[in-house]
Structure 1
């Protein structure tokens, strides 16, 4: 009978030990070194991002407008994209479709029509591009709903 509490205690200890965070940490939260906004802007134009994207303050060259896609970047938003989401959107554009777009608009054969830059862009380029993109989003202030009869 004394064996049962010992066995139960051992199982609980093993189970709780398995719940501790790994040494690698949570991969959903990561940061890269600070980037250079001006170099990121150069890369945005160099990689011809405007061939499929639109961004306030930038004209889309007519020559590049072959895809018919107009995926908006930047501007006023009610919630900012997380840094990690921007990184994933560049290195794995098929991971998630942006809100407001239908799969058939931005995907062909189950893959994003955005080309992969993983083999041509350096990590420094990625950091700079993300820093540039991040700078183009503006958070709109949250408007609180006023309810009659409730005061704070």
Structure 2
């Protein structure tokens, strides 16, 4: 009986595995940031996105969409989230964006590049983008304690 809590914990942990659909064990190779910038420009990401320090005057901007990439965030933007944003732009990661970045059915207006972008291009692109996100600490508001009237 003294092992019962341990057994319960092990059963609970194995219950979190989603079987064949689990992402456990999935890993992409390391990318090249310099080549990732070339991918970013090749696929004309600046038509709908902005990224500090990256410009391309040959790209025609979409007037109705301008999604900022990078910048200060209060939560870590993971490699997996960025990969998901590229290969499945309608995933929940893209939902907080303005309504003008979504189609009427709620899907992302972002072009899906799954049939044109190679895995190497994807890993290079994500390796290029990720350092542009900076984690800043969340600062709580310190409220003064109010004392009761005397």
TM-score by length of 2: 0.72
TM-score by length of 1: 0.71
- 1:28·1:84 contact (CA, 8 Å) conserved in 2? no
Match of 2:96 in 1: 99
Match of 1:61 in 2: 57
Match of 2:135 among 112, 121, 139: 139
How far did residue 31 of structure 1 move? Answer: 3.1
Greater Cα offset, 139-148 or 126-135: 139-148
Matches within 5 A, 1:73-92: 73-92=69-88
In the TM superposition, what whole-angstrom CA distance separates every residue of 1:37-92 from its partner, at most 9, and x where no partner exists? 00001100110000000111123637511342011100111112122111111011
How far did residue 26 of structure 1 move? Answer: 3.6
Match of 2:148 in 1: none
Aligned to 1:84, the other structure's residue is in SS state helix
In the TM superposition, what whole-angstrom CA distance separates every residue of 1:79-109 from its partner, at most 9, and x where no partner exists? 121221111110111122342412xx01224
Distance 1:28 1:82 in 2: 16
Greater Cα offset, 57-66 or 75-84: 57-66
Match of 2:15 in 1: 19
In the TM superposition, what whole-angstrom CA distance separates every residue of 1:3-61 from its partner, at most 9, and x where no partner exists? xxxxxxxxxxxxx6x83746658427843111100000110011000000011112363
- 2:44·2:59 contact (CA, 8 Å) conserved in 1? no
Match of 1:4 in 2: none
Structure 1 residues without counterparts, runs of 5 or longer? 1-15
Distance 1:123 1:100, change over 3 A: closer
Match of 1:108 among 103, 109, 113: 103
The structure with more radius of gyration? 1
Distance 1:47 1:60 in 2: 12
